[in-house]
Amino acid sequence: MKSGVSRALKGGLISLIIAAAFTPALVTAQTLEQAVAMAIDYSPELRQAFHQYKAKQEEVHQAKAGYYPEINLDAGLGREWTDSPTTRSDTGSSDYLALTRREAGVTLRQFLFDGFFTSSEVSRTRNEANADQWALYAASEDLGLDVARAYISYLLAEQTVELSKDNLAAHQATYRAVKSKRASGLASISDLSQITGRVAQAKVSLSASINQLEDARIVYRRMTGKLPEKTRTPVPDADLLPRSLSEATRIATQNHPTLFAAGSDIQAALAQQGSAESLFYPKLDLDLSANFNNNLDGVRGENNDAQAMLRLRYNVFRGGRDSASLRSTEHKINEARQIRESTYLDVTEGTAFSWNALTNLREQLVFLREHVQAATQTRDGYEAQFKLGQRTLIDLLDAKNELFQARIDYLIGEHDELLAQYRVLNATGRLLDSLRVTRPIQWQSDGGINEEGADQQ
């Protein structure tokens, strides 16, 4: 593997050969798309957000119940002891009259006008449910980025271990050569000590890289619920990657789920103001009732009645509570608008950060590649000169160490650039779409999500 990588570095095809050297067969590979799908099914945080959204959906049904009539049944059976002018007149006695009292009744109340309270509550709860649904979508986008980070970190750790093994093998080969020279009297004790120390240092590097790989494996399992298996370098969807910062910002501000959530919060606050305003209107209800009673208040026999009533209620004064409630909703509307403005700024800022990171990393990769190529040529030249006695052992070891570090730096830069592409997709709200990951059907509402109000300032 070492010779293959070296030839690739010499030929200038570093990234392609490194990817080929460390990528398993695609048929059995565990892709990033699969990892994100597993994480969405596994994540306790997403399940929590899902249940919060479903609870809000049920609040919509609770609010809609206000459109329907309220029917109540009432029944009672027991003994009643009565001492009243009526019982004393009927019985000629001042003793309590004991009768078995029976009651049965049914009432139906249907609101005809409630100052638009019910419609306002339906709108409020529906928009709150929309906001939670968009928040769920935003959380899944962020989870996708976290999984991409864990996935790419694991790939980097795997490949760093391989490079560390190659580095150790190269130092061990040098150690054997120096030891052989020392046995022939062509190398000094200090040379042998020097290469012995460098081998120990290479072993430390390998041990550290193995530890990082184990850490990356644990993080991956925390995200997906499973250990990584035969991962491969992902390829972001180039068609969904914006071509410029202005395009990225435009897509983000039109598409990011957190902006839709903030817009829905504004609509919910406006609806809550409608609920508060309803307190200033009269209430008109239709009441239908029927009662079937027996032996009431010491009077033997049936006592039945039926009523059909229009009831108007209008609160005149409640100590200024309703006015204060209405003023409170005005502040909540302004608060929601400022939250939306802050969210807009966060989205545009996050998009700019992600785009700048991507462009800068792409520029850095050019220089990192040049560093690897130059370090490779230096190492090869020093090896030839060392054999001719024109270079010291420490010169050769320093050249090998510089090449190893240059390879590591390039590998890190390559993976950082890959992650930066996914950061841009996340910033524009299209990461899951780019991965072709379908959100669970349970996340959908009956009528689909509502984008109304997403652009409210």
% residues pLDDT > 90 (the chain): 73
Question: What is the predicted pLDDT for the residue at 328?
Answer: 95
Query: Stretch 385-404: mean pLDDT, rounded?
Result: 89
Q: How many CB atoms lie within 10 A of CB 284?
A: 15
Question: What is the predicted pLDDT for the residue at 25?
Answer: 38
Q: Which of 412, 423, 369 is nearest to 157 (CA)?
A: 412
Query: Stretch 60-87: mean pLDDT, rounded?
Result: 91
Q: Among 13-22, 140-149, 174-183, 387-396, where is mean pLDDT lowest?
A: 13-22
Question: What is the predicted pLDDT for the residue at 404?
Answer: 94
**Mean of all residue pLDDT scores within the chain:** 88
Per-residue pLDDT reduced to its tens digit, 347-359: 999 999 999 999 9
Query: Stretch 367-374: mean pLDDT, rounded?
Result: 96
Q: Between 447 and 368, whose confidence is greater?
A: 368
% residues pLDDT > 70 (the chain): 90
Query: Stretch 87-113: mean pLDDT, rounded?
Result: 86
Q: Which CATH class is domain 2-68+116-281+320-443?
A: mainly alpha
Question: What is the predicted pLDDT for the residue at 29?
Answer: 67
Q: Among 55-59, 93-97, 156-160, where is mean pLDDT lowest?
A: 93-97
Tokens of 58: 């049920």
| Structural domain boundaries in the chain | 2-68+116-281+320-443
Q: Confidence class of residue 30 from pLDDT cuts 50, 70 and 90?
A: confident
Q: Confidence class of residue 296 from pLDDT cuts 50, 70 and 90?
A: confident
Rounded to 10°, the helix 32-42/189-224 angle is 50
Q: What is the pTM of this model?
A: 0.83
Whether 16 shows a pLDDT value over 80: the answer reads no
Question: What is the predicted pLDDT for the residue at 185?
Answer: 74
CA contacts within 13 A on the Cβ side of 415: 22
**For residue 163, which amino acid is it?**
L
Give the 3-state secondary structure of residue 314.
Answer: coil
Q: Confidence class of residue 446 from pLDDT cuts 50, 70 and 90?
A: low
Whether 242 shows a pLDDT value over 80: the answer reads yes
Whether 258 shows a pLDDT value over 60: the answer reads yes
Question: What is the predicted pLDDT for the residue at 84?
Answer: 82
Query: Stretch 435-456: mean pLDDT, rounded?
Result: 67
Whether 13 shows a pLDDT value over 50: the answer reads no
Whether 232 shows a pLDDT value over 70: the answer reads yes
Whether 23 shows a pLDDT value over 70: the answer reads no
Question: What is the predicted pLDDT for the residue at 379?
Answer: 93
Per-residue pLDDT reduced to its tens digit, 139-149: 999 999 999 99
Q: Between 306 and 388, whose confidence is greater?
A: 306
Cα 70 to Cα 31, 75, 112, 117, distances in angstroms: 55, 17, 12, 16
SS (H, E, C) 333-364: HHHHHHHHHHHHHHHHHHHHHHHHHHHHHHHH
Query: Stretch 406-426: mean pLDDT, rounded?
Result: 96
Rounded to 10°, the helix 14-22/321-387 angle is 100
Question: What is the predicted pLDDT for the residue at 309?
Answer: 95
Question: What is the predicted pLDDT for the residue at 28?
Answer: 54
Q: Confidence class of residue 39 from pLDDT cuts 50, 70 and 90?
A: very high
Q: Which of 118, 8, 135, 6 is nearest to 63 (CA)?
A: 118
Per-residue pLDDT reduced to its tens digit, 311-335: 999 999 989 999 999 999 999 999 9
